[in-house]
Amino acid sequence: MIFTATAALLASAVFFILRTQASGGTFPRPLSADEEQDCLRRLADGEEHARTELIEHNLRLVAHIVKKYYAMPCDQDDLISIGTIGLIKAISTYKPDKGTRLATYAARCIENEILMHFRAARKSASDVSLSEALDTDADGNSLALMDVISCEDEGLLQVEQNDHYAQMHRFIDRCLDNREKEILTLRYGLHGSEPLTQREIAKARGISRSYVSRIEKKAVEKLRREFEKYNS
Give per-residue pLDDT as tens, 125-145: 444 444 444 445 455 554 444
Residue 78 confidence class, pLDDT cut points 50, 70, 90: confident
Domains detected in the chain: 5-155 (1.20.120), 159-231 (1.10.10.10)
Strand residues in 37-170 grouped as ranges (E): 133-136, 142-144
- Among 27, 36, 38, 155, CA closest to 103: 36
- The answer on pLDDT for 177 being more than 80 is yes
Higher pLDDT, 120 or 155: 120
CA-CA distances (angstroms) from residue 200 to 71, 75, 183, 189, 193? Answer: 15, 11, 11, 13, 14
Residues 98 and 90: their CA atoms lie apart, in Å, by 14
**What number of residues does the chain have?**
232
What pLDDT, on a 0 to 100 scale, did the predictor assign at position 113? 86
Residues 23 and 223: their CA atoms lie apart, in Å, by 17
Mean pLDDT score across all residues of the chain: 75
Dihedral, CA of residue 215, residue 218, residue 219 and residue 221, to nearest 10: 160
Residue 36 confidence class, pLDDT cut points 50, 70, 90: very high
